[in-house]
Amino acid sequence: MIRILLLLFISTFQLNAQMTNAEVYNFEIGDVHQTKLYGSAGPPFEYHLDTIVNKVVDVNSITYTIHRKTILNGPPPYPTISSSVETLVISNLTSSPSHFNYGSCIAPIDSSFIGNCGEGVDFRQSDLDSTCFEPPFWFSTLHEGLGGPYYDVYDFSNMVDYQYELIYSNSSQWGECGNYQDFFVGIEELTETNVHLIRIVDLLGLETEDLPNTLLIYVYSDGTTEKVVRIE
């Protein structure tokens, strides 16, 4: 009985402990995240499809190269799609990552829980017992190995209502989770007709030759990746 209580205490302590930058932004090459950004102005809604194509680990920093596809989805003249290459540098790996905060007179409340993918989630919300007039309600989440902050804001006094949410992920750490929006596929067929291999990297993200009997990652010009083992 004492052992069971001890285990419950340890698991509760770990769950309530806030994560570090290294835990939240722990991506691997080939990980995919799809996010949706929308606000009170309504459509077009902005979607991002991010694919991790390179990772460089330093003493106290990690640098990610991300292929991003951005789509604005709504009534004509939408949808439109564009591509870009983003660089994300995560430093101070042992520090707590920043949450999304809204308003100046709101005291934040921190907690944590296990998310839908099985990952740890750090949760911050506004304290509605504030002395603010019509205090805004907002919350921010940081997800273990899935990034953030993702947020949801309702500010009735200023007529603000906007969100940034993770709607789909496919990571080496947690597998597939969420609902992938496949409207990218039809548009890509019109805009990207000549997809070709641009580089080959190993599991450490280092560029390499097409080696036999080795697990490699093929990176294509449209931002997609493929894990390949060529047996000889």
Question: Which DSSP category does 75 fall into?
Answer: S
Q: Is 167 buried (19+), middle (13-18) or exposed (0-12) by CB count in 10 A?
A: middle
Give the model's pLDDT for residue 204. Answer: 76
pLDDT at 183: 65
Which of 48-71 are b and which e, b meaning 16 or more Cβ less than 10 Å from the residue's Cβ?
bbbbbbbbeeeeeebebbbbbbeb
pLDDT, position 74? 81
Domain locations in the chain? 2-193, 194-232
Q: What is the DSSP letter of 207?
A: B
Residue ranges in the chain whose pLDDT is less than 70: 1-16, 130, 183-195, 221-223, 231-232
Q: pLDDT (tens digit, 9 = 90+) per residue, 151-167?
A: 999 887 778 888 999 99
What pLDDT does 171 receive?
Answer: 95
Cα–Cα distances in Å, from 87 out to 55, 81, 90? 10, 20, 10
User: What confidence score (pLDDT) does residue 78 get?
Assistant: 84
Collapsed DSSP state (helix, strand, coil) of residue 39 = coil
Fold of 2-193: YmcC-like fold (2.40.360)
Q: Locate the DSSP E strands across the chain.
A: 32-38, 45-57, 61-73, 80-91, 108-114, 120-126, 137-143, 147-155, 160-171, 175-178, 197-201, 215-220, 225-229
Evaluated on CA atoms 98, 102, 107, 110, the torsion sign reads negative
Task: Say what the pLDDT of residue 191 is.
Answer: 42
Per-residue model confidence (pLDDT) at position 103 = 77
